[in-house]
Structure formats: structure tokens, C-alpha cells
Amino acid sequence: MGQEKIEIDYDRVDVARIMDQIKERIAAEAGAEPRSSGSEAAPIPELDFTAGQGRMRRVLLKLMSPFRPLVKLLILPVDEEHRRTVLILDHTNRRLDRLIAEVERDRRVTIERLDRLREYVKLLHHLCHNLVIEMSKLKIEEEALKTKTRIMEKDFEFLGKREKALEKELLK
Amino acid sequence: MKIAFVVQRYGLEINGGAELHCRWVAEHMKKHAEVEVLTTRAADYISWKNHYTRDVEAINGIRVRRFPVSRTRNPERFGRLQDWLLRHEHREADELRWLDEEGPMAPGLIQFLKDSEKAYDYFFFFSYRYYHSYWGVKAVPRRSILVPTAERDPVVGLRIFQDLFRTPRAIIYNSVEERKMINDVSRNEHVPGDVVGVGTEVPGRYSGEAFRRKHSLPGPYILYLGRIDENKGCHKLFEYFVRFKRESGSEVKLVLAGSTVMQIPSHPDIVYLGFLGDEEKFDALDGAEILVMPSFYESLSMVTLEAWALGRPVLANALCDVLKGQCLRANGGLYYETYPEFRETLSLLLSSPELRRGLGDNGRRYFQANYAWDVIENKYLALLDRLEKEKGA
């Protein structure tokens, strides 16, 4: 496979280092695409347009011999074109197989990431919601405290006046 | 000192994470203080139906007071309400209605807390999201210590819980990530707290060989322990494992143990053993090459700690920040986010016994340093000591 060996110090095993190496190896593998996609494509049979029954074939070839130049002229380009088309189709099939494998792999990775993101978004949503509630409550509390302070200020003022009035009465 | 542990369910047969966590801590703390448990009569966490009949009983030397659940849960109605709540803007009253629907609604327990506040020095509330914790912490805020056991679950962002996280006298977190998440959603940094977690009871004897013989598992296997559920990431585990088998031709098997709420794929190398008892669970861990933890949401993962206690490496889902953080802190396991990472990490672990041994040893050391029972007890005692000093000051 040509994979790099994971280096481990068995006397002092370090999980973080091992995991870093594993992640690097996986990333390198993913980067080394295309892999063995050729083996996934269907094999193309060799085409032999001259194959046929032994004696019958020879008789037919003899009979046809005067027309051979004409037949060659008409058939050969078709054969060549057919061969090339098959090759192009084969190549296209291999590419398609590889692309499908890539799309499938990406799809799986994306679904996993989306699942995680969905969970994070859900948590964030709750967090935001709860923050808003908390802020609203604090605002209400602040208003109540302000009102309380105003009342206390008035009480204090009143008590001051009362104190002065009492002092006056006492000093009379 | 008299302390009470307040939890939604309590009993020897209850294996749930927070409930078992509570029981183990209570049983260890009885050496240091007078311990009581205040709980409901429910045994089933779906319906909260009253199951236990006695008001007071002793379990492993601890007095347990049980209070009746006044309303059972209607799972469909609760599910609809939760769905609506998480998708729409709403008021605090809607969240309180959701809390009532979730239950276990035990007003007798809350009244008892109010009436007996002075009889106890501290109340430890386990699981932040249930009725008993929300109303209980509000009933006795200055004596309450919350053990939230919170996962990265959308309900953690509900408004009512922000108040809850700011109210108790102290908070005991399960992990650094849990503390950060709770700090982020509630800005409760001023509440004293510590990251403690929980220990585990490792039996004196366990044998992976016996487990392999019993279940005819001669070759290597990776183990998943816990509820087999999509919420625990099992669907991804099955998908990745089947693909790994197809591509690698490895002889490894996936062994599953626990209750199931989803369809397990029919595959010759996926072996489902049903629910295992505690002893057999440790046998299974001992025989496994790796413990796999595919869960997306975990508050601590006791089973991961159990694997490390036995020196077994872990392969965890990196999308769960707690599991990834634990693997990095312990240097006791690898993690994956995608299939290529799953393939590479699993191949590496299976092909290298030295790596498995190294990770397992690191995990064991991390467990001993942070989750051995004396460490856990000392952290609880240090927090109580700190609160006592603050009270006296």
C-alpha cells in the first residue's frame, strides 16, 4: 500500500501523537485519489472481426477475394471507428465509476458534518433563546430596582424632614 | 456528621449509571459519616411506578427512606412535550411542566427535606435533571451538594437548570468536560466544586479464559458493554464494524453485552450475549482485546474506567468530548470520528499487542491515581471539610 508506518514509543505511549499520525495517514490517502478505480470498471472483451468457422471461412474468403480491396475500403474505417468508440466508452465508464465513488464518499462525510452542525445549531438556538430571556429578566429587575431606589430616596427625604422637624420641636 | 444521599431510585437491583454511582459513594462514605438515603419507591425509570412497599429499610448497612411517587410518567406525552420544548420558544412555566412530566414526582420527599433540613449536615443530590434534584436543591440550598451527572444533552440548556446549577452549596462533577459545559451554560463558576467521578468495584477474581471457553470465543474480540441503543451510537458501531470486516478480512469478533432496545444486525461475527452479571462482566473485559465505546453522550462512562482498572485499552467515539478527553488524559485509548479513523485505529490496536499493553497499563495507572476508592473518598471529604471551614468563617 506504500503507507507510512505509525511510529509509537511503546515505553511512553502518547495517544495524541498516534492520533495525529493516523489523521495524517487518512488525509494522505484521501489526497492520493484516484485509487484503484480501474479494477471497478467492467472488463472490455477483445474484438476480433476476422474470426469465423475454419473451412467455410476459407471458401468465403476465396469467393470474396476479387472484392477484397473494396470490402477493406468499406469495412476498415468502420472497424477502427468502432474500436475507438468502445475505448472512449470504457474510459468514460471508468471515470463515471470513480466520480460516483467520490460523490458517495463526500456525501457520507457531508451528512456526518451536517448532523454535527445540526446539533451545534440546536444548542446555539437554546443558548440564544435563554440569553434573551435572561437579558429580559435582568432588564425588568433593573427597572424594579430603579423604582425601589426612587421610593427609598423619597422616604429618605421625608425622614430627613421629619428629623429636622422633631429636632426643632425638641430644641424649642 | 450526618449526610443524606438523595436519588431518584435506589436498590441493589438497580444498575443505572447515576443510581449505581450514588449507591457506591454512599456505601463508601458510611465509613466517614452517618449516611442515609432518601429516594422514591420507584424501580423503573420509564414509568416511575411505585414498586418498593416499605417506607424505611436497610440496604448494605445504610438506612433508606422511600417516598411514594404521586404520578407515574406517560412516556408518550413526556416525549411530545420534550420535543416541543426543544424546538420552540417557551416560558419557564413550560419547563416546569416538563419537569413534572419527567418525574419522579415525589412531593413527600421534598416536604421531608424542608421539614428535616436541620437534621442533616449535607444533602447530596444525584442527577440534575429530575424532579427530586430541582425541588430538593431549592428546598435546602445551603446544605445541598449537587452531583449533576450531566451529559451533552439539549435539556442541559433549559432555563430552569441554569438556576439550579447556580443554587447549591457545591457541585461534584464527573469530568473536566462536564464542568466546562455546566459552567458555560449557567455561568456558575462561583459555586465551589471539584471533578471527582466514581470508583468501581473490581472483583477479586476474574478470568477472561473462562469467559472465552464458556461462550466459545477462541479468537480475538472487541467488547461493547451497556445498553444497545441508537442513542449510545450502536448503529454506527455496527455499520463500521461490518464494513471493517468486509474490507480487512480480520478474524476479530464484536461481542455485545447488555439490554437491547434496537435490532442487532445478523452477522456471523457479531455475538450478542444478553445482560451479564457483574462478575461475568469483568470476565468479559479481561478476555477482550479492546473495549469499544461508540456513545455520543457520556457524563463519565463507568465501563471505560472498569476496562482501565483491568488494564484493557479503549476505542472511543471522539464525538463524545468526555470520552476523547478521558482517552487523552489517561493515554489509555484511541478514538475515531469517521469510518477511516475507526478502520485505522482498530487495525492498529488489533495488530499491536505492545500498543494494547501500553495503553492498558496507562489506563490502569490513571484509574489508580484518580478513581481508586480512597482517592474518591478523600475528594468528597476534602470538599466537606472546605464547606465546613467556610461555614465557620
Contacting residues for B361 by C-beta, under 8 A, at least 6 apart: B311
Same domain for B335 and B260: yes
Pairing of strands B193-195, B333-336: unpaired
Question: What percent of chain B is modeled with pLDDT above 70?
Answer: 100
* Binary contact (A8, B319; C-beta < 8 A): no
Mean of per-residue pLDDT scores for chain B: 93
Contacting residues for B236 by C-beta, under 8 A, at least 6 apart: B294, B317
Same domain for B107 and B77: yes
What is the nearest CA distance from A129 to chain B, expressed in angstroms?
A: 7
Judging contacts by C-beta atoms under 8 Å, the chain A residues touching residue B362 are 13
Same domain for B118 and B160: yes
Contacting A with CB below 8 Å, chain B residues are 86, 89, 92, 154, 157-159, 162, 185, 319, 327-328, 331-335, 337-341, 344-345, 348, 352, 354-355, 357-359, 362
- Cβ neighbours around B249 below 10 Å, total: 7
Q: Rg of the Cα trace of chain A?
A: 44
* Rounded CA separation B132/B103 (Å): 8
Q: Report pLDDT for A81.
A: 73
Question: What percent of chain A is modeled with pLDDT above 70?
Answer: 78
Q: Look-up: residue for cell 437548570?
A: B161
Judging contacts by C-beta atoms under 8 Å, the chain A residues touching residue B324 are none
Same domain for B123 and B241: no
> pLDDT tens for residues B362-387?
999 999 999 999 999 999 999 999 99
Region A72-88 average pLDDT:
74
Same domain for B174 and B238: no
Cα of A61 vs its chain's centroid, Å = 61
> pLDDT tens for residues B128-151?
999 999 999 999 999 999 999 998
User: The domain spanning residue B195 has which CATH number?
Assistant: 3.40.50.2000
With 70 as the cut, is the pLDDT of residue A76 above it? Answer: no
With 90 as the cut, is the pLDDT of residue A51 above it? Answer: no
Amino acid at A122: K
* Binary contact (B158, A126; C-beta < 8 A): yes
DSSP B61-107: TEEEEEE--SB---HHHHHHHHHHHHHS---HHHHHHHHHHHS-B-H
Report the residue of chain A nearest B361, measured CA to CA.
A13
* Rounded CA separation B261/B258 (Å): 10
- In this structure, are residues B336 and B318 in contact, taking their beta carbons and an 8 Å threshold? yes
Q: Which of B344, B317, B304 is nearest to B236 (CA)?
A: B317
Same domain for B229 and B101: no
Which site among A22, A23, A25, A140 would you substitute to test the B interface, given the most B Cβ atoms closer than 10 Å to its Cβ?
A22
What is the nearest CA distance from B334 to chain A, expressed in angstroms?
A: 6
Same domain for B221 and B186: no
Q: Which of B107, B139, B92 is nearest to B120 (CA)?
A: B139
Same domain for B217 and B180: no
Same domain for B81 and B57: yes
What total of structural domains would you count in chain B? 2
- In this structure, are residues B225 and B293 in contact, taking their beta carbons and an 8 Å threshold? no
* Rounded CA separation B171/B82 (Å): 26
* Band of pLDDT at residue A86, cut at 50, 70 and 90: confident
* Binary contact (B348, A123; C-beta < 8 A): no
With 70 as the cut, is the pLDDT of residue A38 above it? Answer: no
User: What is the biggest distance separating any 2 CA atoms in chain A, rounded to whole angstroms?
Assistant: 156
- In this structure, are residues B359 and A15 in contact, taking their beta carbons and an 8 Å threshold? yes
- In this structure, are residues B270 and B237 in contact, taking their beta carbons and an 8 Å threshold? no
Question: What percent of chain B is modeled with pLDDT above 90?
Answer: 81
> Sign of torsion, CA B223 B226 B229 B232?
negative
Same domain for B9 and B105: yes
> pLDDT tens for residues B153-165?
889 989 999 999 9
Question: Is the peptide bond preceding residue A66 cis, with omega within 30 degrees of 0?
Answer: no
What is the nearest CA distance from A102 to chain B, expressed in angstroms?
A: 14
- The domain of B216 spans 208-369
Same domain for B19 and B146: yes
* Rounded CA separation B214/B237 (Å): 25
Cα of A31 vs its chain's centroid, Å = 14
Judging contacts by C-beta atoms under 8 Å, the chain A residues touching residue B348 are 6, 18, 22
* Rounded CA separation B332/B327 (Å): 5
> pLDDT tens for residues B55-97?
999 999 999 999 999 999 999 999 999 999 998 888 899 999 9
What is the nearest CA distance from A92 to chain B, expressed in angstroms?
A: 27
Q: Report pLDDT for B231.
A: 78
ipTM for this prediction? 0.80
Same domain for B10 and B149: yes
* Binary contact (A8, B355; C-beta < 8 A): yes
Region B253-260 average pLDDT:
92
Region B263-274 average pLDDT:
92
* Binary contact (B332, A15; C-beta < 8 A): yes
Q: Say what the pTM is.
A: 0.69
Q: Which three cell numbers stand for residue B284?
A: 468479559
Pairing of strands B333-336, B270-272: unpaired
Asked if A26 is an interface residue toward chain B (Cβ–Cβ < 8 A), one would say yes
